[in-house]
A and B are shown apart, each in its own frame.
Chain A
Amino acid sequence: MKRFSCDEVVELVTVYLEGELDAPRGGRFEEHLGGCEGCERYLGQFRATIGALGELPPTALPGEARERLLAAFRDRGRP
């Protein structure tokens, strides 16, 4: 079976991480990674990027807006 080249592997990273690569292609993907430092590094950097995105600090609503909404919640149902 044809081996994946690196330029194919980099386009499959998200499908792979989503667990959506079918078994034969998943096998070829992992086989390529096992023998290719460049793609292994690319995958690691992709994962690091995703991890860093998940650690972005929350942006709260500005204080007044938050207070206003909390007040609206308290007053709900009142005439």
Chain B
Amino acid sequence: MSQLPDQEETIVEPFTGGRLPPDDVVVAALRAGDETMFAALLDTWSRGMLWLARSHVSTNDSAEEIVQDTWLAVIRGIEGFEGRSSVKTWVYRILVNTAKKRGVRENRTVPWSSVFEQERPTVDRSRFQGVDDPFPGHWKELPTAWPTPEGEVLASEVRGRIAAALAELPPRQRAVITLRDVEGCTSEEVCEILEISAANQRVLLHRARAAVRGRLEEYFETARRSA
């Protein structure tokens, strides 16, 4: 351990890949017209924004327009930003509101406040032993071990599978898993952005993750059989 524990962090990290500087730095830079900072936000958040917008409207074009309108609102609103939430949450909240309005206009509202999803198990019951078996509720057969993704080809196929699995998810699950696991938001941020409870967030996240895992399992299983 050669690092000095009490040394002050004075080096500003290049803000790529989600490593944005603290909010006050971001806000000051935007107000001062720092285009590099604005571009960094655009490039870091636009993917999550596109996915989230896509949960509210039916086409990619509409989703793109929502994202553009959101950024225009951010440009107009940055002077008046009061810092009551993080910049990220503020931007995503503008997005959600823009998307909702647009969804209403296009007559495609996703029932965000609909009753809770059914309490279905996330892993098929047939995978577990029944009441008459020796160990009820325990695996009939263990899940098959997955290969370690070594080759680039495998990795890119897995990415493709994941993207397809996300696209199949119900909109609310997709929004939560995208914000949490793809974009790296905290659960508090997701609850604030989507206006859902912590418990609801957790259930949606769990269902979504289990569904994506299931898709990967199918993929590896098929690959194993055809090998």
Contacts and interface: CB of A to CB of B under 8 A. Distances in A.
Contact of A11 (B142, B206, B216): B206
Interface in A58-77: 58-62, 65-66, 68-70, 72-74, 76
Given A14-B205, A59-B47, A66-B46, 7 more contacts: A13-B206, A13-B210, A39-B139, A49-B162, A57-B159, A70-B39, A73-B35
Nearest to B43: A60
Interface in B192-227: 202, 205-206, 209-210, 212-213, 216-217
Classify the secondary structure of B's interface with A. Answer: helix
Contact of B206 (A15, A38, A68, A73): A15
Main secondary structure of the interface of A (DSSP, over half): helix
12 contacts: A6-B139, A14-B205, A14-B206, A38-B139, A38-B143, A45-B143, A54-B182, A58-B44, A61-B68, A65-B64, A66-B42, A74-B35
Interface of B: 33, 35, 38-39, 42-44, 46-47, 50, 64, 67-68, 71-72, 75-76, 121-123, 125, 128, 135-139, 142-143, 145-146, 158-159, 162-163, 177, 181-182, 184, 187, 202, 205-206, 209-210, 212-213, 216-217
B146 A48 contact: yes
